[in-house]
Amino acid sequence: MTAELSGVGKHVHYGAFDLTLAFANASLKDGRFVQLVRALRNLEASLSIRADLEEAKKAIDACRALPRDATSGAPTETGQIFMEAVFIHALMLYCRAVHSSTKERHKIDVLGSYTPEQKVLHADITALRDNVVAHYGRGDNHVGGPWNHDHIVLRTNPSGFAFSYPRIRVGSKAVVVQSLLTLIEKSLARMIEYGTKKQNELAGLIRTALQEDDEFINRVSSYPFSEETFFGFAHPPGSSSRFTLPKGTPLRKGTE
């Protein structure tokens, strides 16, 4: 956000200021800024959750571009590996966004916006993540199961015997991918609606603070924001990126 910071006894030029850093150590129990910090934390969380969900959707969409056999149209062996990888990536991002808890990100209720049918899908998908993907399980009774089977077979013949080791490893199943996509899209809509509400709430509080609160102005003015400093190189203002860096390359200038 770009604004002119002006108050009772303070005037600061136009610029960009990092609200996240300015209030990084502020407590939700601090009466002076409690409403502002709560709105800021909720907006930060909704944007972070939205980013996870958007990436999960992109991962599923990427399946359309995977290598396929020219004759059958089925994914090649390499395509199957990629499909499993992007499905697991999407599944883990979805669960991280709406299922898991962490001290690093305020949890926002998404399930409250689900229909009863979608809540059933969510329970199925999260159980699959917990009991089959994140921790090995056969998944016979989970959605789309079975998922993983490892067997040892004894084969006897007139000259003796031998072992074989048949296994099942299901990378993904269309019905599960579609269920996951439904939940991701529903959650995204919820985050957009919720984030817009919290952005408007935060904007209202800041308008008042800019006019009446010198402590707010002094605090925020101490945290100017620069895209080049944040990313470590010139970057379009207001944009975000994902980085894949060679080993040993610092993410930002001055970091190890």
91 by Cβ neighbours in 10 Å (0-12 / 13-18 / 19+) ranks as: buried
Residue 69: predicted pLDDT: 77
> Which has more confidence, 123 or 170?
123
Residue 7: predicted pLDDT: 47
- Are the C-beta atoms of residues 144 and 176 closer than 8 Å to each other? yes
What is the rounded average pLDDT of the residues 150-162? 94
Residue 255: predicted pLDDT: 44
Q: What is the DSSP string of 56-81?
A: HHHHHHHGGGS-B-TTT--B-HHHHH
3 state DSSP class of 71:
coil
Round to whole Å and give the CA distance between 201 and 42: 10
Q: Quote the percentage of the chain above a pLDDT of 70.
A: 89
Round to whole Å and give the CA distance between 41 and 24: 9
Answer yes or no: is pLDDT of 153 > 90: yes
Residue 9: predicted pLDDT: 45
What phi, psi does 60 have (nearest 5°)?
Answer: -65, -45
Q: Which of 96-105, 152-161, 181-190 has the lowest mean pLDDT?
A: 96-105
Answer yes or no: is pLDDT of 222 > 80: yes
Answer yes or no: is pLDDT of 202 > 60: yes
